[in-house]
Structures are given as structure tokens and as C-alpha cells.
Amino acid sequence: MGASSLARSTETTIQSEPFDGQWLGDGQRKYPRSRLLLSSSDRGWTTLSAELRSHSAGRIVSIEQQSVEVVIAMARTEGPVTRIGAGREQQTRPDAGTVWLVPTGVGPEEIVLSAPMPQTLHLYLPIRQFDLLADQYNLSKSLVRSVQYIGGLNDALITQVGASILHELSEQSATSRMVAEMGSLMLATRLIQQYVDHNLIDRITGGDRPDHVRMRRVLDYVDEHLEEELTINDLARVAHLSEFHFARMFATAMGMPPQRYVSRRRLDSAMRMIGAGKLPLSEIAFRSGFSSQASFTRAFRRATNMTPGEFRLHAR
């Protein structure tokens, strides 16, 4: 793909249908004996499934999985991890942040844990996420099966995305779905750029200049739909860009990713509603995109160092 083709692709809105239903990944089937600590199963995420699990020492044998799995050790493990799959045997002594990749179609896979792994984050990407990127850049749909079966990685971007997803699992924000969408997009792009059997980096890179007209449209749209479910796909369509190029343009122009901007605008709106004193806090929590008043209170306290109730008292 030449520079002119890439430039034309940024002007095209990707007409993709939303995912049907919630994406749950392969975790329940692959790790039935491990302890599930946190899960995205109640978040309604459609482009990413996330689980924090605690694994005992022992042997895990799994059948062929339907998703691409990214595994991140969130705490150091004392003994090595041995994996046998895709015709390969790998042994890794993991530190916190160590990454393993499992492409779709690998199976059976055997994992031998010589010591417990108390906190392991499992992220599952559906095949369709890779197909969308392949459509955008005129790449082969076989890409998803070209992700390498590899472990012992030290990839700062992947671990950063993992930390963001884990924080969302622990402390729900008002932009939960957008966090998942951005995480899924960044992970799929990273895997295609760095961990497939083809040199595709030049096809998925290139600069994007901030476009003030597009940005004004997007910012206006956000303000008009703050109390509705916003997705990266929605905002990319308003900007008439692919999701990938929109995310890069927005971060360049605003100095923050779109989900953080939406979260900040919702917080500003919530503060105005609380100060007005006309709505109960439970209603403000719902309008601000939270599934519960408790989640809203925790997020509000993190941002302002006071609860919504305390803020209302100070605003009087």
C-alpha cells in the first residue's frame, strides 16, 4: 500500500456492523479449574473479553480456541512456565509484565506451571477485530492465523494496555466500553505490526495531521450525546475516518485518548448536575454512564477527592 493509498484510506468510513452480543472469549472453557478474580462478563464489552485469574501449580490441557489470547503476568512467578503448542515447546520464568501470545486455532495446548501464578490477566480478541483491520489495509484475512505462538515477551505497549484494562475491571469508569474498544484496537494492531509472520509495519503506520473541522464535529457530537452509549466506532464515523486513524488523530489533537476525554466531559456534566441539586445522585450516576451509584462514587472521589454527596454540600 503506497502513501497515496494510505491517505485515501483515512478518508473512508469503515462500514462495519457492530458485534452481535457480548464477547466472552475462551477463558471459562480453557481454565475451568483456576480461580476467577475479576471478569468483564458483566460489562457488555463486544470487542474484548478480560479475566484476571489465579492459577495453581499443575498442568493445563486445552482444546483448540476460537480467539486470539494475550496473557500477561501481573505478578512475579517463582518457577518456570512451560508451554507446548503449535509444534513448539517454550519455557519462561516470568516476571511481572511477561507476555504470552496464543493465536486462534492452536490446540491442543499443554501448559505446565511449576509454581502458582497468583495474578494473570487473560485478554481475548475475536477474529473479527483482525478482519476489520485487514479490510482497512487490504491485507489477507489469514492474518489472524499468522500471529505467532510465542512467550516470554517484554512489550511495554501490551503491558500498558493490560494495566488499563485491569484498572477498568477493578474500578469501573464512565467510559468502560470505550476503554475496551481502544484496548482491543491497540492490541490487534500491535500484534499485526510486531508478531505476525509478515513484515506489515509499513502498511499500518504513517502520520495523521490533526484536522480541526473533523475534531470540532467529534467534540460537538460528544457533548450532544454525553448521556448515551458512545463508542469509538461512533466517533470515527462522525470524523469519517477508520477507527485506527481516528484514535491517532484524536490523541494528537487533544493530547489524550478519546475515552479519557469523554470521561472528563461526563465528570464536568456530573458536577454541574450535582451542583444544581435537582436530581438524585443515583440518576446522575446513570446519566453519567455508570452502571451503579457505587461505581460513580468511587470514580468521582478519585477525580475530585470528595464524594458526590460531599461535593453537593460544598456547592450549596
Coil, strand or helix at 153: strand
For residue 65, give Cα distances in angstroms to 68, 104, 106: 8, 6, 6
Q: What is the structure's pLDDT at 71?
A: 97
Domains of the chain listed by start with CATH number? 27-194 (2.60.120.10), 209-316 (1.10.10.60)
Q: Which amino acid is at 265?
A: R
Computed over every residue of the chain, the mean pLDDT equals 82
pLDDT for 223-282, tens place per residue?
Answer: 899 888 899 999 999 998 888 888 888 888 887 889 888 988 888 888 888 888 888 999
- Alpha-carbon gap, residue 244 to 28, rounded angstroms: 30
Burial of 32 (0-12, 13-18, 19+ CB in 10 A): exposed
The gap from C-alpha 244 to its chain's centroid, in whole angstroms, comes to 13
CA nearest 71: which of 155, 170, 177, 176? 155
pLDDT for 187-210, tens place per residue?
Answer: 998 898 888 855 444 444 444 455
pTM of the shown model: 0.73
pLDDT (mean) for 65-77: 91
Tell me the residue length of the chain.
316
pLDDT class of 14 with cuts at 50, 70, 90: very low
